Chains A and B, each alone.
Chain A
Amino acid sequence: MMNMSLQEPKTVVVVGNGMVGYKFCEKLLAKTSAYNLVVFGEEPRHAYDRVHLSEYFNGKSADDLAMSSLEWYRENNITLHLSDTITEINRTEKTIHSQKGVSQPYDYLVLATGSSAFVPEMPGVEKDGVFVYRTIEDLDLIQRYAKTSRKGAVLGGGLLGLEAAKALIDLGLEETHVIEFAPRLMPRQIDSAGSAMLQAKLESLGLKVHMNKSTSSILGHDNIKGLQFADDTTLDVDMLVISAGIRPRDELARLAGLETGTRGGIVVNEKMQTSDESIFAIGECALYDGMIYGLVAPGYEMAEVVATSLCAGERAFTGYDMSTKLKLIGVDVASFGDPFVTEPDSRSIVFEDTHKGVYKRINISNDGKHLLGGVLIGDADAYNILLQTVNNKIVLPPNPEDLILGARGGEANAGAGVVSLPDEALICSCEAVSKGDICSAVTDLNVTSVEGMKKCNKAGTGCGGCVPLVKDLIHETLKANGTYIKNVVCEHFEYSRQELFDLLKLNNIRTYDDALDHFGKGDGCEACKPTVASILASLWNDVIAKQHTIQDSNDRYLANIQKGGTYSVVPRIPGGEITPDKLIVIGQVAKKYGLYTKITGGQRIDLFGAHLSDLPDIWSELIDAGFESGHAYGKALRTVKSCVGSTWCRFGLHDSVSFAIEVEERYRGIRAPHKIKGGVSGCVRECAEAQSKDFGIIATEKGWNLYVCGNGGSKPQHAQLLATDIDKETCIKYLDRFLMFYINTADALTRTATWLNKMEGGMSYLKNVIINDSLGINKQLEAEMQGLVSSYHCEWKEVVESPDLRKQFAHFVNAPKEKDPNVAFDTMREQVKAKDW
């Protein structure tokens, strides 16, 4: 480095600004600033996270996906040419030429051109409605076309194909088909039994899977109309995504006379040098030892190898583990090590539960000492630790089946497993962070959280797959160092939520400051303040607005904050029943204050876009008309949905609306670790969707069935049956106990479903507590619930009636009448909408 700075700096030119090309720049800059770096990218955007590309459909923007900001390139003096393809390498003059006419001399050239989607040659691939799945632009095209399509298909049942298929489902296509040429899905990663289980799971998600199908042509005129298969069958589709594999982008290298493989790829040695020693190739375009590595982690390792050599260091690429975990939401799929070895080279242990859709296979060396690889479908929690066990040749326990059997011992095993890993075990393969790096960050630098670790050494910032393992390692290292660990609230309170709940209750603590003085340290934060606020509310049901600065964002102003800083207003409409007069009032208020109105998924009406300072006036008018707070902002009871029931419906067995209103009014306003939702249906047709709620009540011939611990949201889970054919009084009694038990024992921000999933003994334990009083606490739970029910007050009414509390709802404290001038709206379908941010 020293001698270099005396001379003219040498120029490193990178062709391709994809994930690996970007990572190379980052890695080189971390080592030296002695080079002049020039980057050419063919895509219009600077490098983004292709691995998480599908999240673009779930609301992530191109900016969110970017690997770094454009400023980053500027700050690091990287010359970045975007939307410019390199078309020629002149190796004798050591200069490259771009499509836009730029000529750039180089001392070292790094080809990081990645790969393109492989499109098989067949008639019709050029038709409109046929896509590939590789870039943000591809996704834009797919999204636009999907709007007018009903049926879609994906050609290819591999890792990427399934991801694309899930995307089509999410885009709202009525039918999505997957066409696979091989006799099974993900043929490169999983065995046929695993594939069968995966197929069943995918079909339950609504995918239609066709195996052993060879597509011969694409039907239709200008637009695709269907697929023609070799077996003379056809399938009608409106759009097709081709995901039949990748093709390394070696055209530039080939033209320059560099050695390439017969099936594509730029041939490199263990230093990533091509047949020209000043030209390197890394990432998905590089062919090492006859193999293309189609994953990001090996690409990053290649980048590290080149960056190290350019700084005169020693590092060689020696192949890379190709284990993978599928990110398909809703189905866990993982394969690691050698998933396919069979007897006589190994023995396999297989666990299969067709009911739950779980298949696990591990392959063990004949002497029983080592794990060779395996497949996990339906439950891949053990993936990380099993992968580590293979990679580090850890000696197996005497009963290796424990590794995949039962969730009960699972967690304890995982923890213990982490300890037995050697220090050099690679934990975060994206950022090449080893176990030793993580443990020493804990011991020497006092890093105690995953967030801290990310900042310290980037572990977990890549694909994120190692985060659970990083967490376990931090935990175990702290424990080994003699620090006692539990699920504490935050750095200010060394207690779990349940412990804190009991302490505050026993000591009759009523304010946050008191709690902090007695049981905490420091000045609190955004984690412990809302947690304590919620506990205090569950215990004493005092006016929330009195301690408003400890409440979470939405609770502080008794309203949900929106883009732009306005708030929403949601009056309670119990059971979804509302009189015409009240509907009129909502309309009038909305008009007067310029609010957007929408019927919510919870059977009530949300009014959006209220200025902070208008909130008390709006509520005052609503309260005068007989409304009360709907607690849409609180970790509290939201809605109890109802179906119309026996009063009108020809199938209704009992009056579900009356029961829903009764239950909603009983539990309204009660604060809990997370929000609570309920539903009451008048018969098994279940129009109120009660089984997707924290509690659901369904009428039977003889009474009511009570279900608990269901959840919608991102991880939907059906509620489970707690009691059958009970009468209303028993139902309320069980609900009192159930809810109060949840409030007393759950961790902060844990819905009932997650609470149950973590509960040792699960549903049978819960039943025993609630129905058989196995803990002997039911009298107490009922009394506590009755206390909360009797002390109910509408918190908005308290605010509206108190000038002091009203004062808190001003944007400018020194100009309370003025509204925030930065709030701005657009219009859409004759109503306002928040401006995009």
Chain B
Amino acid sequence: MEAAVIEAAVQWVLVCKTDDIPQNGGGCVKVGNEQIALYNFSRRGEWYATQNMCPHKQQMVLSRGMIGSTGDTCEPKVACPFHKKTFSLLSGECLTGEDYQLKTYPVKVEGDKVFIGIE
């Protein structure tokens, strides 16, 4: 039920082609005036999207960060290139002990087209 409600509120925006984002890396896409970091976790066949701004020093750089995983559950994460604070790609939570929180967005791939869900 809940999922359906969310689904309905989301508007899917075509942002780029799959090969615009490097494998196991990220790129930044512009949606209106918003900067969104989009990650192609090709090793796992997964896509994620978060705000591009690192909350630590308000820098527009998370798309240039390194992605990877941590822990037994292999939680996917991104590390900011500036001071290596890391964030969960699933929840947006900061994994390096601070109270930062990233906004995350749903991603959908159809063929070679990548869509981001905007509320």
Q: Is the CB of B74 within 8 A of A812?
A: no
CA distance A629 to B73 in the complex (A): 41
C-alpha gap A396/B61 in the complex (Å): 54
Is B23 in contact with chain A by the CB < 8 A criterion? Answer: yes
- What mask results when residues 6 to 31 of chain B are scored 1 for a CB within 8 Å of chain A, else 0? 00000000011000111111011110
Complex Cα distance, B14 from A824, in Å, reads 29
Partner of B59, one of A492, A523, A565: A565
With a cutoff of 8 Å between Cβ atoms, the chain B residues found around residue A525 in the complex are: 66, 68-70, 77, 79
List which B63-117 residues lie within 8 A (CB) of chain A: 64-71, 74, 76-77, 79, 81-82, 84, 86, 96-97, 99
Q: Which of A451, A522, A548 contacts B22 (CB 8 A)?
A: A548
A523 near B76 (CB under 8 angstroms)? yes
A234 within 8 A of B: no
Interchain CB contact under 8 A, B41 and A523: yes
With a 10 A CB-CB cut-off, give which of A526, A818, A820 has the most chain B CB atoms. A526
Residues of B with C-beta under 8 A to A553 = 64-66, 81-82
Shortest CB distance A562–B (Å) = 10
Tell whether A524 is near chain B: CB-to-CB under 8 Å: yes
Docked-complex contact B59 and A837, CB < 8 angstroms: yes
Chain A residues with CB under 8 A of B68: 492, 522-526, 528-529
- Nearest residue in B to A837 (C-beta to C-beta)? B57
Q: Pick the contact of A565: B44, B60, B69, B97 (CB < 8 A).
A: B60
Please tell me if the beta carbons of A526 and B84 are within 8 angstroms of each other in the complex: yes
**What is the CB-to-nearest-CB distance from A457 to chain B, in angstroms, rounded to a whole number?**
13
Contact of B82 (CB < 8 Å), options: A524, A528, A561: A561
B66 touching A529 by the CB < 8 A rule? yes
CB < 8 Å neighbour of A524 from B69, B96, B97? B69
B residues less than 8 Å from A815 (CB atoms): 30
Shortest distance between the CB of B43 and any CB in chain A (Å): 5
B21-A523 in contact (CB<8A): no
A814 and B30 contact, Cβ closer than 8 Å, known pairs A529-B66, A561-B81, A837-B57: yes
A454 near B97: Cβ-Cβ < 8 Å? yes
**Contact in complex: A812, B29 (CB < 8 Å):** yes
Task: Name which residue of chain B comes closest to A564, CB basis.
Answer: B59
The chain B residue sitting closest to A552, CB to CB, is B66
Contact at B29–A523, with CB atoms within 8 Å?
A: no
Q: Are A549 and B30 in contact (CB under 8 A)?
A: no
Query: From residue A31, how far is it (CB to closest CB) to chain B in Å?
Result: 21
A491: CB under 8 A from chain B?
Answer: yes
Alpha-carbon separation in the docked complex, A563 to B30 (Å): 21
Expressed in whole angstroms, the minimum distance between the Cβ of B55 and any Cβ of chain A is: 12
Specify which chain B residues have a CB less than 8 angstroms from the CB of A810 in the assembled complex. Answer: 27
Q: Is the CB of A813 within 8 A of B29?
A: yes
Interface size on A, residues (CB 8 A): 38
Given the contacts A454-B97, A525-B79, A526-B79, A813 and B27 also touching, CB distance less than 8 Å: yes
> Within 8 Å of chain B (Cβ to Cβ): is A127?
no
Q: Which of B57, B58, B69 has the most CB of A within 10 A?
A: B69
**Min C-beta distance of B79 to chain A, whole Å:** 4
A198 at the interface (CB under 8 A from B): no
B74 touches A523 (CB 8 A): yes
- Whether, in the assembled complex, A811 has its beta carbon less than 8 Å from a beta carbon of chain B, the answer is yes
Taking the complex as formed, is A513 at the interface, i.e. its CB lies under 8 A from any CB of chain B? yes
The answer to whether B61 and A565 have CB atoms under 8 Å apart is yes
A672 → chain B, closest Cβ, in Å? 20
Q: A513-B43, A523-B74, A565-B61 are in contact. Are A549 and B28 (CB under 8 A)?
A: no
Residues of B close to A814: CB separation below 8 A = 15-16, 20, 29-30
Nearest CB in chain B: distance from A76 CB, A: 13
Indicate if the CB atoms of A811 and B28 lie closer than 8 Å. Answer: yes
Contacts of B71 in A (CB 8 A): 491
Of residues 35 through 49 on chain B, the ones whose CB sits less than 8 Å from some CB of chain A are 35, 38, 41, 43-44
Could you say which residues of chain A place their CB within 8 Å of the CB of B61? 561, 565
| Distance (whole angstroms) from the CB of B61 to the closest CB of chain A | 5
A188, B16: Cα distance in complex, Å: 68
A549 touches B60 (CB 8 A): no
- Complexed CA–CA distance, A133 and B96 (Å): 33
Contacts of B60 in A (CB 8 A): 565, 820, 822
Contact status of A813 and B28, CB under 8 A, knowing A557-B64, A561-B61, A822-B60: yes
- Among A455, A523, A815, chain B packs the most CB atoms within 10 A around the CB of A523
The yes or no answer to A550 lying at the interface (CB within 8 A) is yes
Contact with B along A529-562 (1 / 0, CB 8 A): 1100000000000000000111011001100010
Alpha-carbon separation in the docked complex, A565 to B44 (Å): 29
Q: List the A side residues contacting B74 at CB < 8 Å.
A: 522-523
- Nearest residue in A to B69 (C-beta to C-beta)? A523
| Complex: chain A residue closest to B86, CB-CB | A526
Chain B residues, CB < 8 A from A556 = 64, 66, 81
Contacts of A812 in B (CB 8 A): 28-30, 35
A601 CB to closest chain B CB (Å) equals 22
A808 beta carbon closer than 8 Å to chain B = yes
- Complex Cα distance A530/B58, Å? 24
Residues of chain B with a CB closer than 8 A to A818's CB: 30
Beyond A523-B69, A837-B58, whether A813 also contacts B16 by CB under 8 A is: yes
Q: List B contacts of A513 (CB < 8 A).
A: 24, 43
* Chain B hits for A808, CB < 8 A: 22
A-B pairs with the 5 shortest C-beta distances? A549-B25, A525-B68, A553-B81, A526-B79, A523-B69
Known: A523-B68, A549-B66, A814-B30. 8 other contacts (CB 8 A): A522-B70, A523-B41, A524-B43, A525-B68, A525-B69, A526-B66, A565-B60, A812-B29
Cβ contacts A to B, 30 pairs, < 8 Å: A69-B99, A451-B96, A451-B97, A523-B24, A523-B76, A524-B69, A526-B66, A526-B68, A526-B86, A548-B22, A549-B23, A549-B24, A549-B25, A552-B66, A553-B81, A553-B82, A556-B66, A561-B81, A563-B57, A564-B59, A808-B22, A811-B28, A812-B30, A813-B21, A813-B29, A818-B30, A820-B60, A822-B60, A837-B58, A837-B59
